[in-house]
Amino acid sequence: MYNFEYKNPVKILFGKESISKLAGEIPQNATILMTYGGGSIKRTGVYDQVMAALKGCNITEFGGIEANPHYETCMKAVQVVKEKKADFLLAVGGGSVLDATKFIAAAALFENGDPWDILAAGAQVEQALPLGAVLTLPATGSEMNGNSVITRAERQEKKAFGSPLVMPQFSVLDPECVFTLPDRQVANGVVDAFVHVMEQYLTYNVNSPLQDRLAESILTTLVEEGPKVLAERKNYDAAANFMWCATMALNGMIAVGVPQDWSTHIIGHELTAFHGIDHGRTLAIVLPGVMHIKRENKKDKILQYGERIWDIKDGDADERVDAIIARTVEFFESLGVPCTLPEYDVPETTIDKIVERFKQSEAKFGEKQDMDYLEIEQILRNRL
């Protein structure tokens, strides 16, 4: 196992009626900018719960954050922050709202040029506004990490950044918020959390049995509980287990001491940038292709994953790898998430555009930094 340093300062308030505890987490006399998405929080009652908990507080609202948050929208929110002199941000929504709010927190105090440089050029975040979160959609794990992904719509680019300065001071997780989510969002969330684990687990062995088993416990729980959440929409225990899995999948705990991949996400971001496909669905498309094309690099961990998660033990190594990939696809499809490009009306010309973008960047990806644009083309063509 590799050396590591780990610190996670995010306070989690988990369980029924936990939204009522909000006031005790935000500084008194704060000027709050509350961010949210398309308004579903008002239909589900979350908005009323938040406003009741913060009665008497100075709150300005900023809604309309997209499912794949746009840089352009975030910059409008930055202007509101400056006009209202907001000094605390409260994200109420899913991972997209949290990601946008993290970028807003950094961009509002960015003094070294164009805030886009935070995403496109890796400009250092030296200060950020404090923020908290009320999570309504388990998926991204953004409620307990310092990561953010933002789309610049005019350029069809989707970029990520990370900084400990944009980690939420607290996150409220009430599983009852899951009850009112559309099935599509629940399915996307299960896939998103599942692939987050795979990016940190499906690499190569470094003698980290505890990390492996922590990762496998999340995968197994998602396999068991994800379908229950869809079948029994008001099953509190299933919703709670799903919500905590999504948080644990990307709060850094299973990442320490082990290699990480993230190529599935990097490729998937391009499918979202060009076609607006839901993030979780891009991962369901790409992961099977990565497993197929990188089967030699990942063979030991794929076979371990197949045996421990799917009980696949029979056949030679190649037969088992094929069966494991097929079983993974079957699981995603059982949730209602298609796993091939034609099912999303993505033409072959899009593959050419994505491959050219990676070719121009000359970047390499994967846990061994050995995946180039040629392999990315193979991965995408595998999904036709």
210 and 84 co-located in one domain: no
167 and 277 in a common domain? no
CA separation for the pair 106, 86 (Å, rounded): 13
> Is residue 265 domain-shared with residue 162, that is, in the same domain?
no
Task: Report CA 357 to chain centroid distance, whole Å.
Answer: 23
Residue 67 CA: distances (Å) to CA of 96, 97, 138, 222, 276: 6, 8, 13, 23, 9
Closest by alpha carbon to 114, among 123, 105, 102?
123
Confidence of residue 337 (pLDDT cuts 50, 70, 90): very high
Q: Is residue 2 part of a domain?
A: no
Q: What is the mean pLDDT of residues 298-321?
A: 98
Residues 216, 83 within the same domain: no
Sign of CA dihedral 131, 222, 209, 283: negative
User: Is a pLDDT exceeding 90 seen at residue 113?
Assistant: no
Whether 90 has a pLDDT exceeding 90, the answer reads yes
Per-residue H/E/C for the chain: CCCCCCCCCCEEEECCCHHHHHHHCCCCCCEEEEECCCCHHHHHCHHHHHHHHCCCCEEEEECCCCCCCEHHHHHHHHHHHHHHCCCEEEEEECHHHHHHHHHHHHHCCCCCCCCHHHHHCCCCCCCCCCEEEEECCCCCCHHHCCEEEEEEHHHCEEEEEECHHHCCCEEEECHHHHHHCCHHHHHHHHHHHHHHHHHHHCCCCCCCHHHHHHHHHHHHHHHHHHHHHHHCCCCHHHHHHHHHHHHHHCCCCCCCCCCCCCHHHHHHHHHHHHHCCCHHHHHHHHHHHHHHHCCCCCHHHHHHHHHHHHCCCCCCHHHHHHHHHHHHHHHHHHCCCCCCCHHHCCCHHHHHHHHHHHHHHCCCECCCCCECHHHHHHHHHCCC
> Do 57 and 196 have their domain in common?
no
Q: Which tokens is 221 given?
A: 């729980």
pLDDT at 349 over 90: yes
Name, in order, each residue with C-beta under 8 angstroms of 283's C-beta and a sequence gap of 6 or more.
191, 192, 195, 264, 265, 268
Average pLDDT over residues 207-221: 98
Residue numbers of the domain that contains 194:
182-381
Average pLDDT, the chain: 97
Model's pTM, two decimal places?
0.96
Judged against a pLDDT cut of 90, whether residue 118 lies above it is answered with: yes
Boundary of a domain, candidates 176, 204, 220: 176
* Boundary residue ending a domain (130, 161, 176): 176
Q: Is the pLDDT of residue 83 over 90?
A: yes
Task: Over range 54-69, report the average pLDDT.
Answer: 96
Token pair recorded at residue 272: 């979202």
Q: What is the pLDDT of residues 271-284, one digit of tens each?
A: 999 999 999 999 99
How many CB atoms lie under 10 A from the CB of residue 40? Answer: 18
* Shared-domain flag, residues 113 and 202: no
Cα(167)–Cα(8) distance, integer angstroms: 9
Determine what percent of the chain is predicted with pLDDT higher than 90: 98
Assign residue 30 the CATH number of its domain: 3.40.50.1970
- For residue 42, is pLDDT > 90? yes
Beta partners for residue 160, in sequence order: 149
Looking at the fold, whether 161 and 202 belong to one and the same domain comes out as no
Q: Provide the pairing of β-strand 11-14 with 147-152.
A: unpaired
Residues 246 and 285 in one domain: yes
The CATH number given to whatever domain includes residue 200 is 1.20.1090.10
- 262 and 118 within one domain: no
- 144/292 same-domain check: no
What is the predicted pLDDT for the residue at 112? 83
Q: Over 313-327, what HEC string results?
A: CCCCHHHHHHHHHHH
Domain end residue (candidates: 143, 176, 209): 176
270 falls within a domain: yes
Instruction: Domain count for the chain, please give it.
Output: 2
Task: Tell me whether residue 1 is in a domain.
Answer: no
